[in-house]
Amino acid sequence: MASAPLISPSILSADFARLGEEVRAIDAAGADWIHVDVMDGHYVPNLTIGPGVISAIRSWSDKPFDVHLMISPVDAFLAAYAEAGADMITAHPEAGPHFHRTVQAIRALGKKAGAALNPSTPETVLDYVLDELDLVLVMSVNPGFGGQSFIDSQLRKIGALRQMIDARGLSTLIEVDGGVNPVTARACVDAGAHALVAGSAVFKGGPEQYRANIAALRGQ
């Protein structure tokens, strides 16, 4: 059986009126990372969190901040999110003309670099940059909104990525985001995922339920 996945709760589903307290609560409940969904209303049809918010909540947890930039163009904003407290910065290959340069820029800022793949984006787009990535984020819904249903075809992509990574002897992590619940979580891990992003599946029921919700995603 595959090992228990890392859990990165998406604060997009948190209570924004008490965001710092929510971050502290999921940290205490056993989250491995804190996932921050950044949307610009341009690359995706929603508008969410800027670097100022990340800076404001950074002190509420010592866990790594897993920042997913759904913005285009992306390169001009990398430094701002790095300075705000991101530990991992994930961008989309479609978000700029030179994705390899984007990855280099993230690494030059001293941060871990990730690539996010939309449901229609094949894993082969990463063939010539995979060796420089710390993380590949497989979007199992179309980016832009929380609460969507899992797209089953992405399990095949997770498996293909895992084969690519293992064949090259890399330590690149595969993360999955979208429609993750205790059932789809197991399918993702079985397909080869190392880490899972979950919003509503973690935050449902309020803070007293967070620990149990996270444990359920780990299959515990």
One of 32, 37, 66, 134 is an active-site residue; which one?
Answer: 37
Say whether 35 counts as a known binding-site residue: yes
Say whether 10 counts as a known binding-site residue: yes
Say whether 147 counts as a known binding-site residue: yes
H/E element, 189: helix 182-191
Say whether 178 counts as a known binding-site residue: yes
Answer yes or no: 177 catalytic. yes
Handedness of CA 81, 123, 155, 71 (dihedral sign): positive
Say whether 146 counts as a known binding-site residue: yes
Say whether 20 counts as a known binding-site residue: no
φ, ψ at 171 (rounded to 5°): -105, 15
Say whether 144 counts as a known binding-site residue: yes
Burial label, 185 (beta-carbon count in 10 A; 0-12, 13-18, 19+) = buried
Answer yes or no: 127 catalytic. no
Structure tokens at 154: 């992405």
Q: Cα separation of 188 and 158, whole Å? A: 7
Say whether 134 counts as a known binding-site residue: no
Of the candidates 57, 94, 76, 88, the one whose C-alpha atom is nearest the C-alpha of residue 195 is 88
One of 32, 40, 134, 177 is an active-site residue; which one?
Answer: 177
Annotated binding site for a divalent metal cation: 35, 37, 68, 177
Annotated binding site for substrate: 10, 68, 144-147, 177-179, 199-200
Catalytic residues: 37, 177
